[in-house]
Amino acid sequence: MNFKLTSLNGLRLFVTGLFLGSALLAQETAPAATAAPTPGIKTLAIAKVKATPAILANAAGASRKNSIDRMTQALDGQLISAVQQTRKFTVLARSDADSLVEEGAATGKAFSFGDADYLLVITVDDFQDFIQTAEFKALGKTATKRVIRFSAVGKIYETKTNKLLETANFQEQNLDTEELLANSASTGGELSDALLLSLTRRMSEQVSQRVADVIYPAKIMAKTGKVVTINRGDGTGIATGQLWEVFALGEELIDPDTHVSLGREEMSVGKVRITRVTPKTAQGEVNGEDLGIDKGAIVRRVVQ
């Protein structure tokens, strides 16, 4: 009798050990759970601004070629500054690679840009620089001014997949700025640095705001009564007096044809008027009806 009990207990111990061993083996061989994405600032690489080959080919004469070079170089520097001022990205300025490589060689350290989450590519696809003369016959006078107009295509790529996320066209022209020239040839000539910087700065601000809105849409961070705080600050295009529309996020939208996510449904729930801008945030007051303005809602500027 004792022998049978001992045998039965041994069998139970053997089976229990077998199950425990199987469980441990399963834990060792099971694939690790996918880690959640790490929150934080994304890294944006900015490619060197270039003009299309067609524009360069049509740049007859050294003076016009010099104007194009100065414009693209100015746009490159202004763009890096404008994106940095959004305070939304760690910026990798690819156009500064030569300087950084040289510094690395001087200090004996190998230089590496590292990986980027996104790549911004700007290509200038149109450039006009000409003299415009207006005659005032009644006064017996003429006025001459230089007209500068250029446009560019901006593209945002997700570097891990090489997927094109967004593309947009940008254009600038000195419509409200006259540069009078007392002694100038009929076409071409030197480009004013002041006018050049003004135009490239405006385009850079447009591009940086578009990039920030695509990757990090402006959102309401807090709401107290009728006052909301938005995660946009100085240098991002937001200013007092502007009207911004508020959108509450709904369910995810799936394209029935491609079965690809098109983002989440957006429902307009009101508007806010910007009353204060700080270096990192802005505050606004509910303007009109409030249909559910709350923390986490997306805001977009109303172009008037």
Question: pLDDT for 244-302, tens place per residue?
Answer: 999 999 898 888 888 877 778 899 999 999 999 999 999 999 999 999 999 999 999 99
- Do 162 and 257 sit in the same domain of this protein? no
Do 162 and 103 have their domain in common?
yes
Q: Which residues contact 19 (CB under 8 A, 6 or more apart)?
A: none
Position of tokens 């570097």? 159
Query: Does residue 36 lie within any of the structural domains?
Result: no
Q: Which of 180, 215, 250 is a domain's end point?
A: 215
32 confidence band (pLDDT: 50, 70, 90): very low
Q: pTM of this prediction?
A: 0.70
CATH number at residue 240: 2.40.10.410
- Within 10 angstroms of residue 162's Cβ, the number of other Cβ atoms is 8
Q: Is 173 in the same domain as 242?
A: no
Q: Residue 45 pLDDT more than 60?
A: yes
Mean pLDDT computed over 234-248? 92
Do residues 120 and 64 share a domain? yes
Domain housing 74: 42-215
pLDDT digits (tens, 9 = 90+) for 68-101: 888 999 999 999 999 998 888 999 998 887 777 7
If we measure between CA atoms, which residue out of 194, 220, 39, 60 comes closest to residue 127? 60
In a domain? residue 11: no
Tally of structural domains, the chain: 2
Whether 28 is in a domain gets the answer no
Whether residue 5 lies inside any domain: the answer is no
pLDDT in tens, 184-199: 333 444 556 778 888 9
pLDDT in tens, 205-216: 999 989 988 998
